[in-house]
Structure 1
Amino acid sequence: MINNEKYNGLIKYLKSLGKVVLAFSGGVDSTFLLRVAKEALGDNVKAVTILSPYIPKWEIAEAQELVKELGVQHEIIEAPIIDSIKFNPEDRCYLCKTAVFAMILSIAKEQGYDYVIDGTNFDDISDYRPGLKALKELEVKSPLLECKFTKAEIRAFSKELGLNTWDKPPYACLLTRIPYGNELKVEDFEKIENAEKYMMSIGFRAVRVRCHGNLARVEVARQDRSKLFNEELLDTISENIKECGFKYVTLDLQGYRVGSFNENIMKNLNEQNK
Structure 2
Amino acid sequence: MILTEKLEQIKAIFTEMEQALIAYSGGVDSTLVAKIAYEVLGSRALAITAVSPSLLPEELEDAKIQAATIGIPHQIVQTHEMDNPNYTSNPVNRCYFCKSELHDTLKPLALELGYPFVVDGVNADDLHDYRPGIQAAKERGARSPLAEVGITKAEVRQLSQQLGLPWWDKPAQPCLSSRFPYGEEITVAKLQRVGRAEIYLRKLGWHNLRVRSEGDTARIELLPEQIKEFVLTTNLPSVVSAFQDFGFIYVTLDLEGYRSGKLNQVLNQQPLSANS
For the aligned pair, the TM-score class normalised by the smaller chain equals: over 0.9
Structure 1 position 68 matched with structure 2 position 68: yes
The question of whether the paired residues in 2 share the 8 Å contact of 1:87 and 1:181 is answered with yes
**Greater alpha carbon shift after TM alignment, 83-92 vs 109-118:** 83-92
Give the AA of the match of 2:63.
Answer: A
Distance 1:229 1:179 in 2: 25
Distance 1:209 1:133 in 2: 27
Counterpart secondary structure, 2:211: strand
Superposed CA RMSD in Å reads 1.7
The question of whether the paired residues in 1 share the 8 Å contact of 2:35 and 2:72 is answered with no
Which aligned segments of 4 or more residues in structure 1 are displaced greater than 6 angstroms? Answer: none
Alpha-carbon distance, 1:200 to partner: 1.3
Alpha-carbon distance, 1:117 to partner: 0.3
Match of 2:140 in 1: 138
Tell me the number of residue pairs that the alignment of Structure 1 and Structure 2 aligns: 269
The question of whether the paired residues in 2 share the 8 Å contact of 1:82 and 1:96 is answered with no
Structure 1 counterpart of 2:154, from 149, 152, 155? 152
Match of 1:242 in 2: 244
1:35-75 deviation line (CA, Å, top 9, x unaligned): 11111111111011011011111111111111112111111
Give the AA of the match of 1:114.
Answer: P
Distance 2:171 2:244 in 1: 24
The question of whether the paired residues in 2 share the 8 Å contact of 1:29 and 1:154 is answered with yes
Match of 1:92 in 2: 94
Q: Structure 2, unaligned stretches of length 5 or more? A: none
The question of whether the paired residues in 2 share the 8 Å contact of 1:17 and 1:115 is answered with yes
Superposition TM-score, scaled by structure 2 size:
0.93
Counterpart secondary structure, 1:254: coil
Distance 1:232 1:154 in 2: 34
Structure 1 counterpart of 2:193, from 191, 194, 198? 191
Match of 2:79 in 1: 79
Counterpart secondary structure, 2:49: strand
Distance 1:231 1:167, change over 3 A: closer
Alpha-carbon distance, 1:232 to partner: 5.2
**Greater alpha carbon shift after TM alignment, 145-154 vs 217-226:** 217-226
Alpha-carbon distance, 1:231 to partner: 7.2
Identity of aligned residues (%): 37
Distance 1:232 1:123, change over 3 A: closer
Superposition TM-score, scaled by structure 1 size:
0.93
**Greater alpha carbon shift after TM alignment, 111-120 vs 155-164:** 155-164
Distance 1:201 1:150, change over 3 A: same
Alpha-carbon distance, 1:28 to partner: 0.6
Mapping of 1:96-115 within 5 angstroms? 96-115=98-117
**Greater alpha carbon shift after TM alignment, 256-265 vs 104-113:** 256-265
Alpha-carbon distance, 1:191 to partner: 0.8
Distance 2:196 2:231 in 1: 23
